[in-house]
Every structure is written in structure tokens, then in C-alpha cells.
Amino acid sequence: MNQNDTVRKASVMAENLIPSEIIKLGNEINQRIKSGEPIFNLTIGDFDPSIFPLPQEMTEEIARAYKEGKTNYPAANGVPELRQILSKRIEKNLNVSYSENDILISAGARPLIYAVYKSIIDPGDSVAYGLPSWNNNHYCHLSGAQAVEFSLGPDDHFIPERKHLESVIDQVSLLALCSPQNPTGTTFTKEKLYSICELVLQENEKRKGIKKPLYLMYDQIYWQLCFGETRHVHPVELMPELKDYVIYIDGLSKTYAATGVRVGWAFGPSHIIDKMKSILSHVGAWAPKAEQHAVAEYLSNDEWSTRYLNWFIPEIEYRLKSLYQGIQKLTDEGFPIRAIVPEAAIYLTVQFPWKGYTTQQGKLLANTQDVLNYIIDRTKVAVVPFKAFGASAESDWCRISVGTLKKEDIPGIIQGLRDGMQALRK
């Protein structure tokens, strides 16, 4: 072997960084679809614009902003017009008060989460979060953090509780929470979140003047997509004393099917928001200036956003509940499948406990990957396993995303699942 073959060609962090498993899976399925396979791709947490287009007024405002020449650098923390309207909407909709200087605009939520980690975490610090969890393992890797993970299941509704944190809370610098939760579509109750907030406040009282505070990152980018009697709850409204320790992550992408517009925002204590701004100003992760002005105009008009959400939310809810009801019917008929009642977001949590079954061709489904392959190959439904969200490789729970789902395809999906299970033998 050539001696140079053993020399690293990149940093340790880069050499060991795992690419997005979800994007990789989605791309693989799309390639199979392009090759002619009739697969329902329910993997990526994105939207098909032919099904869920941008609000018309937003499209018009974006075009107008470009025509008006709003194409140079924006302010490092976001254009004032957008931060001002967000300040008003946060107070009106979330019942908490943040000035425009406590708000940071970025190119979607991802740079903001990265900036939270880099603003708070020193290499070797610990971050606590439950599993399954969207991308916290990768942000830990990028920031040199130690992950303190705890597994959640259907009995927990896949949502953390105080009991999961009590033994580790004194060891961590950041607690990462998400509600509505990606990948599960479940949410915090007021009681569960208050109990965690109480624990965080107690821990920070102990740390005063001794060591760095414990911060709470609260990713609520799906908060407006709550269904039925589900009500979004968040930390500072429940416990105003936590305001100096909570950083919120929010944005446009999920609520208005605007994943490609790339306008996200964070708000929280000014001393952290300022550090996040400095980090992202070096990275250059600004949302485009034209889009920022357009979003400011759009969000200034309550009639526009209300009209869109009055159409959009029922469309998402219909898809989730129809899939759930179809799967529940299969469960009631004795088939080995289970779904969690959808509460929010664009996701349905489904269990495929098919390990140990044998196909018609005599192949034993010996592990999770065998099951996933069978789901795609036999039922023609593509889903994301919870192992892509840090859960055990043997977890049989999966995420279904409905942002690209046509309503008329739902009966075919349910029938495909039925046919696939009828062909299995225990």
C-alpha cells in the first residue's frame, strides 16, 4: 500500500460526517421512479408545488421585489421590515414579546440551528435530545458536542418527559426540543412541557455565577400545522422566567409550502442572537433580500395568510387522517401494522413489525433493512425508517410524509400495504 493512502485528505470532522440519510433515500427512490417504477415516494419532508403551490400573493411579491432591484446584500440580521412584522406576529400569535433586535433571519432554519450550536457549545460540551430526532446527531458532530440521547417510544408518544432528563440535566449545555415533532407529528402537552421547563429553570438557578447556563433550543417550525383539538405550547409562554435561556427556531418553509424560498428566523435572548448573527455573517447564510422583503409584505396582510392557511391546513390534515384511518382499518382486520394518531406537521408515524415474516418467494425478512426493501419492492410505498433519525437500527417505526401525496393516491397506498401483508407468512 502506498504510504499516502493512509493519510487523511480532509478534517476528522469532514471525514466522519454522515450525509443526510433522508435525502439519499429520497434520491434513490426518485431514480427508480424515473426508471418507470410505480412507487409512492413519501420520504422527503417537502412539497410538490403542483399540489401545494406557494401562496399566489407571495409569488407576486417575490417577483415585484426582484423587479424593484432588491438584489444586493441584506442586513446581517435580516431586513428591518421583516423583523418588525415578525415581532408583531410573535406577540399576537404566540403571546410573548420579542423586539426586532431579538430576531435573526437566515436562509431557512438549518443555518439557525447550526448557529445555536456554535454559539453555545464548546467542544466536549453535551447536548440532550430524544430519539427519534431530526438532525441533532449531525449538529453535535459539526460542533464537537457530546450527544446525550434517550430513546422514546409510542408509550411516550415519542415526546420527551421530565423523567428522561432528571439524571442528566446537570451535565448538558443545551437541550434540543422540537414540537410539533419531526419525524413523528406528535406534540408536547402543556403539562409535559411545563415540567421540563421547571427542571431547566431549577438547573439554571443552581448554575448562576458558577458555570455556563443551560439553554433550551425549541424548534417549532411546524407549529401552525396543528389539527383538531391539538394546541401548540411553547416554553416562554408557559414560564416567562425562562426567556433568557430559550432560543426559538421558526420559519416560512413548512407553513406556506415555501421550502425553496429559504426564509427562516430565530428569536431569543439578545446575547445569543447577537452571537448567532456574527457566526452567520461570516458564513453568509442570509435569506435573499428580495425574498425577505416579499415575505414582510405577505405577512403584513393577515387576509392573505389566513386565506392560504384555511385551504392548506385542511388539505394536509385530510391526507394524514385518511392514511391513518386506512391503516387503522388494516390493524382492526388483524394485519401487522400500526399508526399513531396524527396531531400536527406533515408526518404520520407507522410501525411495520414484519421482521420474522417470510415472503411468497420464501425470503425471510430477518432485519429492518429486509423489511424496508419489502415495503418498497412489494407494496410500492417508500417511507423513512426511524433509524435515519438516530433511533436503533432495529426500530420498526417509520415516517410517512404527505407533502407530495395526491389525495387520489391514498386508496392505492392502503391497498398496496394490504396486498404486501397478505403475501407474508409468519
Inter-CA distances, 68 with 62, 64, 85, 325, Å? 10, 6, 20, 49
Neighbours of 287 (CB within 10 A): 24
pLDDT above 70: residue 1: no
Assigned CATH for 9-38+306-420: 3.90.1150.10
What residue type is 161 in one-letter code? Answer: E
Q: Which residue has the cell 432528571?
A: 166
| Element housing 354 (H / E) | none
Chain segment 3-36, per-residue pLDDT in tens? 556 777 898 888 888 877 777 777 888 888 888 8
> Given this model, what pLDDT does residue 414 score?
97
Chain segment 159-203, per-residue pLDDT in tens? 999 999 999 999 999 999 999 999 999 999 999 999 999 999 999
Contact (Cβ atoms closer than 8 angstroms) between residue 157 and residue 164: no
* Closest among 163, 166, 187 to 177, alpha carbons compared: 187
Contact (Cβ atoms closer than 8 angstroms) between residue 389 and residue 129: no
- All CATH 3.90.1150.10 domain ranges of the chain, comma separated, are 9-38+306-420
- All CATH 3.40.640.10 domain ranges of the chain, comma separated, are 57-301
pLDDT above 90: residue 44: no
Omega before residue 132 within 30° of 0, cis: yes
Omega before residue 385 within 30° of 0, cis: no
Q: What is the DSSP letter of 101?
A: G
Strands 347-351 and 397-401: antiparallel
Rg (CA), the chain: 22
CA-based end-to-end distance of the chain: 49
Chain segment 322-349, per-residue pLDDT in tens? 999 999 999 999 999 999 999 999 999 9
Strands 246-251 and 215-219: parallel
> Given this model, what pLDDT does residue 4 score?
55
Q: How many helices (H) and strands (E) does the chain have?
A: 14, 13
Contact (Cβ atoms closer than 8 angstroms) between residue 124 and residue 113: no
Q: Which residue has the cell 409512492?
A: 40
* Closest among 236, 216, 227, 192 to 95, alpha carbons compared: 236
> Given this model, what pLDDT does residue 3 score?
52
Assigned CATH for 57-301: 3.40.640.10
